[in-house]
Amino acid sequence: MKFRNLGRSGLSVSRICLGTMNFGPETNEATSHLIMDSALEKEINFFDTANRYGGIGHWGRTEEIVGRWFAKGGGRREKVVLATKLYGETDTWANNRGVSALNIRRACDASLKRLQTDYIDLYQMHHIDRGTPWEEIWQAMEVLVAQGKILYVGSSNFGGWHLAQAQAVAATRNFTGLISEQSIYNLVVRDIEREVIPAAENYGIGILPWSPLNGGLLGGVLKKERDGKRRLEGRAKDGLDAVRPQVEAYENYCEEIGQEPGEVALAWLLAQPAVTAPIVGPRTQDQLDSALRAVEITLTDENLARLDDIFPGYKTSPEDYAW
């Protein structure tokens, strides 16, 4: 496994981050534990979860699955850089959502209990909270750091302007602020190249792409469809229909260079300077193994240029839309 520091921090994380969103809703606990064991054996030391994961009506179940895995001992917790998130409501009671100082305190304590640990390495805001001032957010996070309950703070689904706001206020408090931003980013969805990535690079914030295969569209979906291994319906079918010519060209090119589409999609992300680690959410051991192979793929300048031809990206703003 290859490693990189997360943003400007001294925290060393694997180039693949194990996402756990499927643990519970899609993957049973026993299989989830096996996948985490395998990830650790392959030196994936970066695990990501959230207090809302677990499925409708089962908020927090995924953290509980991870917590019971930690409880098995064997150095599991000590070897893992643990990331979790807060923002969405976990019940309908007032104040149990967002990133108010009250919910930051309550949500952190609840996650620690479910995860069966006394600290979280990376505590992330799952969404921007426009109703809470940054002074309140940072004061609450500073308290958690002082208490030893969290070590670093990250964001998710923030705009470039939000990153700038966050860091500006953190600087006035002599606080580290954000070290990571978790955004949707893949060959198909490249919107963050306009402003989020430039802001992140300026402030030393590492990018953690979620949905690196864009819901499976970059994982060889057309071949699977032809082979009868996957049937697309509803939103998945509509999403494919919108980019079918590009996906067809992409799969043909992957075949031409002798690589699997899903692995090329991850390798492309790993080649982007701002990216620390794509978040992969395997439902099976085979999917985890595929992600691991992507780390060993080196795409040439010619490969990268051809992928940009198939899925054009964006220039940095304002050059993207101005002269």
Name the CA dihedral angle for 304, 308, 309, 310, rounded to a multiple of 10 degrees.
100
CA-CA-CA-CA torsion sign (136, 142, 144, 149):
positive
Q: At a CB cut-off of 8 Å and minimum separation 6, what does 305 contact?
A: none
Q: Which two tokens stand for residue 15?
A: 């180039």
Q: Which two tokens stand for residue 292?
A: 């691991």
Strands of 16-165, DSSP E: 17-19, 46-48, 81-86, 120-125, 150-156
User: Which position among 53, 123, 152, 185 bears the catalytic label?
Assistant: 53
- Phi, psi of 301, deg, nearest 5: -60, -35
CA atoms of 19 and 23, how far apart (whole Å)? 9
Name the CA dihedral angle for 237, 242, 245, 250, rounded to a multiple of 10 degrees.
-80
Q: What percent helix, strand, coil does the chain show, rounded to 5? A: 45, 15, 40
Bridge-partner residues for 86, per DSSP?
Answer: 125
Mark whether 203 is an active-site residue: no
CA atoms of 315 and 302, how far apart (whole Å)? 19
Q: Kindly list the catalytic residues.
A: 53
